[in-house]
């Protein structure tokens, strides 16, 4: 076997900060030359390609070391080192020679024309690398992006990107740690790109704090986990992290999902592969309402963040999913809710992110549907979340939780039949900047512990948690009380007012701050009005 030449991938593995800094700097190479949705796919595809190549080379070195230790010579090692099973059997994707980062790095400026074949740009080489990896790994079929040889992508800049990626290394700390490192970088990029894309970004990315509220309440430790509008797969990733934090394996759950947008579906497929999750996202993207791609699947857990208030959707009045009433043509919120309930197995539970209007709207028969859901005793918990959790969505949001069985022994030791827990978490969280709020670990724990103690889950019992109503935050309401409120499910109606001690000094300081701010705004308004009047006079004098 020829001696290995030392490359930049032999350097020490990158730290998280180094990776993020390097890769975000790489994104800057394309920023300005194309919009966020385009460079997102380009960068994330290269991140994935770099990782699988690093992992492959690390495994290749391990195999060589093992064979040398067994006393095999170079010729024998050369015959055995390309055994595909030695890679895939250790959770490493097989990477053909023309897809390895070393080959792409050496040809970052492309391959010049020869008598045998025409010139190949670096973009064409990367597209061919993606094709070869997908052909060699069925789990990645129709997943990786092939957009590197297009006219709108500057090949010189792409070559510089490849050079810049040379300094990033995912491996060297064990395959599991490498996967975690890549997973965190991938999620970091998804979040950054979602912010860059604005409203469009909300279609593929749900803030991690919101997803964790769903996961920590549902505790998906086993069985089938389903998301009918899975975006880039964030619900599944957080479920896997929850399992890991409880010393369980990702293989303890089976993942099912569907996504309408082709590019987002590909992101989700890559995201699951990165995290080692064998998910069934169907053979292609598609509309959940028009064609449910998991028609017979019954889930133990459903977690979803459907697009809010869709006005144009594939509605059929005869759809068997509408057991509690036909959703209005102008809003799909209650279509999503009923689809999700139709997917629950006996004893199954679901958590769904919705616009706040869904909790009290009566238009288009939504109030009647909500009443039917309550009377069927399907609603277990309602959580009002703080504003500004979604950078791209200005409207406030809430989470609905459903369960098929509230009796003792079915998800908890306390029989909660005929009751709904209301949690008003609008005052939790902190502003990370002027536009976005985030939930801290303590905030998420407070919400989840309140539900767990109310339900009497094993995790709550082990922690010695006992539920009590908390004025201004939580209240366990009977169905009779909900009927009295005309089936409105807004937590603020039930939890009561928060009892707080007045702090005159803090209040006075806040009044002074607001007064100063208002005075400044009034002064600025007068200044602008003067400029406008002057401008109008100038026009009149002409």
Cα–Cα distance, 434 to 444 (Å, whole number): 21
Distance from CA of residue 352 to its chain's centroid? 14
Q: What percent of the chain has pLDDT over 70?
A: 81
Please list, in sequence order, all residues whose beta carbon lies within 8 angstroms of the beta carbon of residue 294, skipping any fewer than 6 positions away: 226, 256, 258, 280, 282, 343
Question: Residues 379-414, buried b or exposed e (16+ Cβ, 10 A)?
Answer: bbbbbbbbebbbbbbeebbbbbbbbbbbeeebbbeb
Q: Which residue has the higher pLDDT, 341 or 392?
A: 341
pTM of the model: 0.79
Provide the pLDDT for residue 246: 85
Looking at the DSSP assignment, which residues form a beta bridge with residue 256?
Answer: 226, 280
Name beta bridge partners: 419.
478
pLDDT of residue 115: 56
Range in 221-230, 385-394, 409-418 with the lowest mean pLDDT: 385-394
pLDDT digits (tens, 9 = 90+) for 154-180: 898 889 888 888 877 766 544 445 556
* CB contact set of 94 (below 8 Å; sequence gap of 6+): 56, 84, 87, 88, 133, 136, 137
pLDDT at 374 over 50: yes
pLDDT at position 340: 98
State the Cα–Cα distance between residues 533 and 525, nearest whole angstrom: 12
Supply the pLDDT for residue 432. Answer: 85
pLDDT digits (tens, 9 = 90+) for 489-515: 999 999 987 654 444 545 555 576 677
Give per-residue pLDDT as tens, 258-306. Answer: 999 888 898 888 888 877 787 899 989 999 999 999 999 999 999 999 9
Q: Would you tell me how many other CB atoms lie within 10 Å of the CB of residue 240?
A: 26
Radius of gyration of the chain (CA): 27
Report residue 260 CA to chain centroid gap: 15
Q: Are 429 and 389 in contact (CB under 8 A)?
A: yes
List, for residues 462-487, the tens digit of each pLDDT value.
999 999 999 999 999 999 999 999 99
pLDDT category at 335 given cuts 50, 70, 90 is very high
Q: In the prediction, which pLDDT does 513 show?
A: 64
Residue 373's CB is within 10 A of a number of other CB atoms, namely 22
CA angle 357, 360, 365 (to 5 degrees): 100
Q: Please name the residue ranges forming H helices in 35-84.
A: 36-69, 74-80
Integer angstrom CA distances of residue 45 from 49, 52, 146 = 6, 11, 9
> By percentage, how much of the chain surpasses pLDDT 90?
52
């Amino acid at each position: 076997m020829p001696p290995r030449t030392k490359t930049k991938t032999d350097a020490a593995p990158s730290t998280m900060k180094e990776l993020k800094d390097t890769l975000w700097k790489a994104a800057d190479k394309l920023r300005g030359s194309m919009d966020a949705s385009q460079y997102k796919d380009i960068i994330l595809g290269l991140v994935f390609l770099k990782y699988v190549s690093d992992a492959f080379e690390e495994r290749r070195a391990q195999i060589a070391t093992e064979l040398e230790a067994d006393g095999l010579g170079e010729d024998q090692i050369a015959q055995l080192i390309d055994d595909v099973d030695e890679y895939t059997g250790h959770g490493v994707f097989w990477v053909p020679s023309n897809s390895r980062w070393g080959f792409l790095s050496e040809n970052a400026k492309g391959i010049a024309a020869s008598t045998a074949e025409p010139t190949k740009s670096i973009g064409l080489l990367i597209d061919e690398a993606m094709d070869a990896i997908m052909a060699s790994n069925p789990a990645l079929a129709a997943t990786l992006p092939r957009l590197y040889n297009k006219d709108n992508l500057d090949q010189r800049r792409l070559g510089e990107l490849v050079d810049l990626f040379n300094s990033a290394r995912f491996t060297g700390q064990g395959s599991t740690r490498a996967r975690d490192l890549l997973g965190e970088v991938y999620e970091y990029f998804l979040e950054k790109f979602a912010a860059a894309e604005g409203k469009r970004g909300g279609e593929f990315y749900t803030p991690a704090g919101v997803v964790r509220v769903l996961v920590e309440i549902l505790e998906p430790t086993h069985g089938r986990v389903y998301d009918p509008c899975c975006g880039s797969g964030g619900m599944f990733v957080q479920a896997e992290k929850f399992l890991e934090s409880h010393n369980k394996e990702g293989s303890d759950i089976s993942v099912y999902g569907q996504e309408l947008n082709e590019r987002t579906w590909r992101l989700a497929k890559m995201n699951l592969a990165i995290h080692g999750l064998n998910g069934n996202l169907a053979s292609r993207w598609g509309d959940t309402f028009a064609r449910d791609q998991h028609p017979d699947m019954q889930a133990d857990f459903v977690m979803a963040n459907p697009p809010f208030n869709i006005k144009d959707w594939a509605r059929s009045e005869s759809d068997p999913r509408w057991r509690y009433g036909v959703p209005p043509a102008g809003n799909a919120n209650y279509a999503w809710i009923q689809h999700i309930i139709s997917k629950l197995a006996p004893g199954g539970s679901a958590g769904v992110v919705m616009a706040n209007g869904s909790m009290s709207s009566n238009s288009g028969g939504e109030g009647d549907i909500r009443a039917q859901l309550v009377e069927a005793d399907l609603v277990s918990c309602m959580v009002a979340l703080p504003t500004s959790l979604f950078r791209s969505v200005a409207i406030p949001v809430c989470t609905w939780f459903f369960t098929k069985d509230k009796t003792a022994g079915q998800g908890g030791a306390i029989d909660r039949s005929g009751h709904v827990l209301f949690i008003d978490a609008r005052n939790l969280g902190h502003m990370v900047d002027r536009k976005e709020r985030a939930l801290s670990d303590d905030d998420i724990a407070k919400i989840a512990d309140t539900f767990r103690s109310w339900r009497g889950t094993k995790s709550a019992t082990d922690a010695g948690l006992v539920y009590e109503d908390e004025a201004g935050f939580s209240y366990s309401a009977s169905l009779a009380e909900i009927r009295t409120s005309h089936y409105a499910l807004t937590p603020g109606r039930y939890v009561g007012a928060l009892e707080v001690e007045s702090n005159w000094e803090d209040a006075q300081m806040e009044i002074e701050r607001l007064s100063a701010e208002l005075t400044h705004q009034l002064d600025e308004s007068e200044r602008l009005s003067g400029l406008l009047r002057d401008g109008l006079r100038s026009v009149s004098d002409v």
